[in-house]
Amino acid sequence: MSPPHTSLPGTAPTGSQVTVISGGVGAARFLAGLIGAIDHGLIDGLDQAGNVTAVVNTGDDCVLHGLAISPDLDTVTYTLAGAIDPERGWGLVDETWRAMRSLERYVRVRPPESAAAPQWFNLGDQDLATHFYRTARLSEGATLTDVTDEIRRAWGVGIRILPMSDQRLSTIVTIADPDGGTMDVAFQDYFVRLRHAVPVHGVRFDGAAQLSAPAREALGSASTVVIAPSNPIVSIGPIRSLSGVDSLLAARRDSVVAISPIVGGAALKGPADRMMTELGQDASVVGVARLYAPIASVLVIDPIDEHLAADVEAAGMRCVVTPSVMSSPDVARELASVTLRSSG
Amino acid sequence: MSPPHTSLPGTAPTGSQVTVISGGVGAARFLAGLIGAIDHGLIDGLDQAGNVTAVVNTGDDCVLHGLAISPDLDTVTYTLAGAIDPERGWGLVDETWRAMRSLERYVRVRPPESAAAPQWFNLGDQDLATHFYRTARLSEGATLTDVTDEIRRAWGVGIRILPMSDQRLSTIVTIADPDGGTMDVAFQDYFVRLRHAVPVHGVRFDGAAQLSAPAREALGSASTVVIAPSNPIVSIGPIRSLSGVDSLLAARRDSVVAISPIVGGAALKGPADRMMTELGQDASVVGVARLYAPIASVLVIDPIDEHLAADVEAAGMRCVVTPSVMSSPDVARELASVTLRSSG
């Protein structure tokens, strides 16, 4: 067991490839930091964004108004294009909401049993074009992998962005219902409509989706695989649920590095901390280490959690300590740089 | 054969119902005039908008970006709601086009064979909510008749608005292709994308649609049926193509009144004049009379065409002359009033 340290020696091999297992906002910020680090020459052997691949969760995908919505894919693309709204962390900057606001009159006439005209999931007017394009291309028979690459190019993003699968996998959250029982809801119902303010009894993934061939290749052949600081259960979980992913990662565990999305016992964003507690896990870097130990050898944690480093190592992961709250591009860049150097 | 006249005696029976066979802009303006005439007490026996039913063409309906678009239904609804853009005659007033403009970046990356991200069919940001609602309700299993009524109520429109059918019927236009042959295109391709600037070799209606039961009832039981001043071939034509419509109208021909959409040999709007000529018909009130004589007994024409009144009557329709260019609400109101009084 090596001691925790803030900086690591070692050089990634020339021509190395990095694959980042990604959710939405946290992963997008990490990826932006990684590109910044590459651009600043901070990562030996990685000299262009084209050597980076993001394998992105699509368990949150949904259909609204007949449109195919892929929230995590879009958050990654928009963030790396520099077009994300910096306040919200999702959606486009300088966005307007005329279409959404115009749904109001229909809410008043829809039958009680109808869920049409949902206003709880905001789609900005500019953002709609992305969903229009994806929906039309999918209906023409294109794969989500194809369309995602087209959208990435449309935004001038240099890294490869791959959906985890070309088939639908739906993250289903079991929550308490008003009668004291439980009920299953789709992820966006839990996350957006209910504002993740209800206790979670369980999470499962519905569908016969398979890891896409390009995603499998990216996870298998990369010199380093990074698990981004995303929700371990509902962002990384769907990707891990695909057949073969955990065994593929376990087989190359020495070159898989994870970044804890839990800092000081709290999720940086979203409900990861509560969700881990509700599902009987420890909402701490130690709980994260227990989840990732089978598939990753290193856990990057924030200095605020340094006192837990020995427990992380006891859980089976080598521990690297570096500031991981990506409050500025500098921090994100340094986090990416340290993460990449910590591998192998 | 009675002589042409500008004003007719006679009173519609109390509690009478009027059904208007409708396309888009011209029909919408006529319906607005009819409501105005009712509100001004100009039509005996018709005391509320609720006694008026529009049976509307859906042959122009299309799916764009995955959204169900019903141009004529929306034009009628928006016009009667006072929300139509008065300059364009379609779409909502104070509209913005952020979603459409944002498609531009996708046009640049779509594969050559793809028709995704069409920019030739403008959908305004506010207008999108209508298509979102219709698409979502149809996917929930609602009929187009149900959804159209919900949309009508959302806009506070007092008349009944019925799609001609709950099934898809597609107006297909055969046009010249660049190689000297012909090709078939969907109506909106001809009308909007190609700006109806290409010669038409033929028009047909594809699909196994049936006149809806409420539309059949509205056409059968109304005291008067009006054929609105819409394109006889591609707006009224799809409705007439449905099984039973022509025979139903022929059986009650004496109480069916048509308004000529051709005034002074030209269409008030759109390509009706050229299309009639290209299809071997006379682009005049006489040509219109020949098309409608089997199903309607009266043709309302503008004073500019009064010299053709005898020819209209020779074609088998009684002729009523009154200003029919609806350049103001007053004219539309008077046109509706004269039209209703000309029946039976």
Per-residue pLDDT in tens (0 to 9) along chain B, 344 residues: 444 444 343 444 446 899 999 999 999 999 999 999 999 999 888 888 889 999 999 999 999 999 999 999 999 999 999 999 988 888 999 999 999 999 999 999 999 999 999 989 999 999 999 999 999 999 999 999 999 999 999 999 999 999 999 999 999 999 988 888 999 999 999 998 888 889 999 999 999 999 999 999 999 999 999 999 999 999 999 999 999 999 999 999 999 999 999 999 999 888 999 999 999 999 999 999 999 999 999 999 999 999 999 999 999 999 999 999 999 999 999 999 999 999 85
Tell me if B13 is assigned to some domain: no
- Classify strands B67-69 and B62-64 as parallel, antiparallel or unpaired: antiparallel
Domain assignment of residue B1, yes or no: no
B26 located within any domain: yes
For residue B96, the chain A residues in CB contact (below 8 A) are 96, 98, 125
Q: Domain check: are A134 and A266 in the same one?
A: yes
Which neighbouring-strand residues pair with A258? A227, A299
Contact B53, B19 (CB under 8 A): yes
Minimum distance, in Å, between the CA of residue B118 and any CA atom of chain A: 9
Evaluate whether B237 touches B203 at the Cβ level (below 8 Å).
yes
What is the total residue count of chain B? 344
Looking at the structure, tell me whether residues A175 and A292 fall in a common domain: no
Report the predicted TM-score, pTM, of the whole model to 2 decimal places: 0.92
CB-CB neighbors (< 8 A) of B98 in chain A = 96, 98, 125-126
Closest CA to B291 of B227, B198, B207: B227
Instruction: Give domain status of residue B103, yes or no.
Output: yes
Query: Count of domains in chain B?
Result: 2
| Statement to judge: residues A95 and A219 lie in one domain | yes
Judge if A154 and A198 occupy the same domain: no
Touching B: A residues 274-333, CB under 8 Å: none
The residue segments making up the domain with residue A108 are 18-168+212-341
Q: Are residues B109 and A154, on separate chains, in Cβ contact within 8 Å?
A: yes
Token pair in block for residue B76: 């009628």
Question: A317-332, pLDDT tens digit by residue?
Answer: 999 999 999 999 999 9
> Does residue B12 lie in a domain region?
no
Q: B58 and B200: one domain?
A: no
Name the phi and psi angles at A67, rounded to 5: -100, 140
pLDDT at A270: 87
Q: Beta strand B18-22 with B170-176: parallel, antiparallel or unpaired?
A: unpaired
Note whether A127 and A81 are same-domain residues: yes
E strands present in B114-264: 160-163, 170-176, 182-186, 200-206, 224-227, 256-259, 262-263
Q: B93 and chain A: CB distance < 8 Å anywhere? A: no
Would you call B139 an interface residue with chain A, using a CB distance cutoff of 8 Å?
Answer: yes
Domain end call among A186, A206, A226: A206
Probe site for chain A from B74, B98, B120 (most A CB atoms < 10 A): B98
State the pairing for strand pair A266-267/A262-263. Answer: antiparallel
Residues B145 and B261 in one domain: yes
- In this structure, the answer to whether residues B262 and B145 fall within a common structural domain is yes
What does the block give as tokens for B212? 């809806």
Residues A58 and A123 grouped into a single domain: yes
Last residue within a domain, chosen from A150, A181, A206:
A206
**Is A228 in the same domain as A329?**
yes
- State both tokens at A311: 């427990």
Q: Are residues A83 and A175 in the same domain?
A: no
Interface of A with B in 50-79 (CB under 8 A): 64-68
B136 interfaces chain A, CB cutoff of 8 Å:
yes
Q: Burial, A325: exposed, middle or buried (Cβ in 10 Å; 0-12, 13-18, 19+)?
A: middle
Structural domain ending residue among the three candidates A187, A206, A225: A206
Side chain identity, residue B67:
L
C-alpha distances in Å from residue A161, one per residue of A152, A157, A165, A219, B262: 7, 9, 12, 13, 56
Assigned domain for B179 exists: yes
Q: Are B162 and B181 found together in one domain?
A: no
Residue A5 pLDDT greater than 60, yes or no: no
